[in-house]
Structure 1
Amino acid sequence: MNFADKFMVQSTFTFFGHHLLQMNTIIHLLKTSTSAAHIHQIQTQLIVNHRHLHLNTTVAHHFIAACRSFSLLTSAYFLYTRHLNLKPHVWICNTLIKSLTPRTSLSFYAHMNRNSIDANNYTFPLVLKALSDLKDTSCGQRIHTHIVKLGHLDDIYVGNSLMSLYASVGEMGFCRQVFDEMSQRDVVSWTIMVTGYRQCGKFSDALSTFERMCYANVVPNQVTMVNALATCASCGAIETGVWIHEFIKRNSWELDVILGTSLINMYATCGRIQDSLTVFLSMKEKNVFTWNSFIKGLATAKNVEKVLWWFSRMNQETGIDPDEVTLIVVLSACAHSGLVQKGKQIFDSLMNNEYGFLPNAKHYACLVDLLARSGRIKEAMEVIKEMPFEPSKSVWGALLVGCRAHGDLEMSEFAAWNLVKLAPNESKWYYMLCSLYTDMGKWSELDKVRVLMTAKGFKTDFGVDMLESKYAMSY
Structure 2
Amino acid sequence: MPLTSNSYSQLNNISTQILNFLNKTCISPSQISQIQAQIIHNNLHFNTTIAHNFISVSKSLGLLNSAYTLYTKLIKKPHIFICNTLIQECSHSEIPVLKQNSISMYVHMHKEGIFPNNYTYPFVLKSLSDLKELKLGKSVHTHVVKWGYVCDIYVQNSLLNLYASCGEIEFCQQVFDEMPQRDVVSWTVLIMGYRDCGKFDDALVVFEKMRDSGVAPNRVTMVNALSACANCGALDMGVLIHDEIRRSGWEMDVILGTSLIDMYGKCGKIEHGFWVFQEMKHRNVYTWNAVIRGLALAKSGEEAVRWFFIMERENVKPDEVTLVAVLCACAYSGMAEQGREIFSWLMNEKYGFPPGVKHYACMVDLLARSRHLEDALRMITEMPMEPTKSVWGALLAGCRLHGNQELSEFAAWKLIGLAPRNSAYYVVLANLYGEMGRWNDAEKIRALMKERGLSKDFGSSSVELEDQKDLLELLR
Question: How does the TM-score come out when normalised to structure 1?
Answer: 0.88
Query: What is the match of residue 299 of structure 1?
Result: 296
Higher Rg: 1
Moved more, 262-271 or 435-444: 435-444
The one of 45, 48, 53 equivalent to 1:57 is 48
The one of 172, 180, 185 equivalent to 1:183 is 180
Give the deviation of 1:425 after TM superposition: 4.2
Give the deviation of 1:402 after TM superposition: 0.8
Tell me how far apart the structure 2 counterparts of residues 281 and 41 of structure 1 sit (CA, whole Å).
Answer: 56
Tell me how far apart the structure 1 counterparts of residues 48 and 444 of structure 2 sit (CA, whole Å).
Answer: 73
SS at match of 2:463: helix
Give the deviation of 1:69 after TM superposition: 4.1
The one of 66, 74, 83 equivalent to 1:93 is 83
Give the deviation of 1:223 after TM superposition: 0.5
Give the deviation of 1:153 after TM superposition: 2.1
The amino acid across from 1:92 in the alignment is I
Asked whether the 8 Å contact 2:427–2:458 carries over to 1, the reply is no
Tell me how far apart the structure 1 counterparts of residues 282 and 345 of structure 2 sit (CA, whole Å).
Answer: 28
Q: 1:354 to 1:111 in 2, by over 3 A?
A: closer
Query: What is the match of residue 73 of structure 2?
Result: 82
Query: What is the match of residue 466 of structure 2?
Result: 472
Tell me how far apart the structure 2 counterparts of residues 291 and 119 of structure 1 sit (CA, whole Å).
Answer: 47
Structure 2 unpaired stretches of 5+: 91-97, 471-476
Tell me how far apart the structure 1 counterparts of residues 61 and 255 of structure 2 sit (CA, whole Å).
Answer: 35
Give the deviation of 1:36 after TM superposition: 4.6
Query: What is the match of residue 328 of structure 2?
Result: 332
Query: What is the match of residue 9 of structure 2?
Result: 17
For residues 155-211 of structure 1, the C-alpha deviation after alignment (integer angstroms, 9 at most, x for no partner) is 221111111111112222222232233232221111112111111222222222212
Tell me how far apart the structure 2 counterparts of residues 367 and 204 of structure 1 sit (CA, whole Å).
Answer: 33
Give the deviation of 1:93 after TM superposition: 0.2
Query: What is the match of residue 306 of structure 2?
Result: 309
Aligned counterparts, 1:402-421, within 5 A: 402-421=398-417
Tell me how far apart the structure 2 counterparts of residues 464 and 417 of structure 1 sit (CA, whole Å).
Answer: 22
For residues 344-382 of structure 1, the C-alpha deviation after alignment (integer angstroms, 9 at most, x for no partner) is 222233334444443322222222211111212122223
The amino acid across from 2:463 in the alignment is S
Aligned counterparts, 1:168-317, within 5 A: 168-316=165-313
Asked whether the 8 Å contact 2:427–2:464 carries over to 1, the reply is no
Give the deviation of 1:400 after TM superposition: 0.9
Tell me how far apart the structure 2 counterparts of residues 285 and 81 of structure 1 sit (CA, whole Å).
Answer: 46
Query: What is the match of residue 366 of structure 2?
Result: 370
Tell me how far apart the structure 1 counterparts of residues 119 and 443 of structure 2 sit (CA, whole Å).
Answer: 64
Query: What is the match of residue 94 of structure 2?
Result: none
Q: 1:75 to 1:276 in 2, by over 3 A?
A: closer
Q: Percent identity?
A: 52
The amino acid across from 2:12 in the alignment is L
The amino acid across from 1:117 in the alignment is I
SS at match of 1:400: helix
Matched, 1:441 2:437: yes
Asked whether the 8 Å contact 1:435–1:464 carries over to 2, the reply is no
For residues 90-129 of structure 1, the C-alpha deviation after alignment (integer angstroms, 9 at most, x for no partner) is 1100111123323222121111112221111111001100
Structure 1 unpaired stretches of 5+: 1-7
Query: What is the match of residue 3 of structure 1?
Result: none
The amino acid across from 2:5 in the alignment is F
SS at match of 1:469: coil
The amino acid across from 1:469 in the alignment is V
Q: 1:410 to 1:279 in 2, by over 3 A?
A: same
Query: What is the match of residue 345 of structure 2?
Result: 349
The amino acid across from 1:89 in the alignment is H
Moved more, 179-188 or 28-37: 28-37
Give the deviation of 1:391 after TM superposition: 2.8
Tell me how far apart the structure 1 counterparts of residues 448 and 110 of structure 2 sit (CA, whole Å).
Answer: 54
Q: 1:356 to 1:35 in 2, by over 3 A?
A: closer
Matched, 1:428 2:428: no
Q: 1:82 to 1:350 in 2, by over 3 A?
A: closer
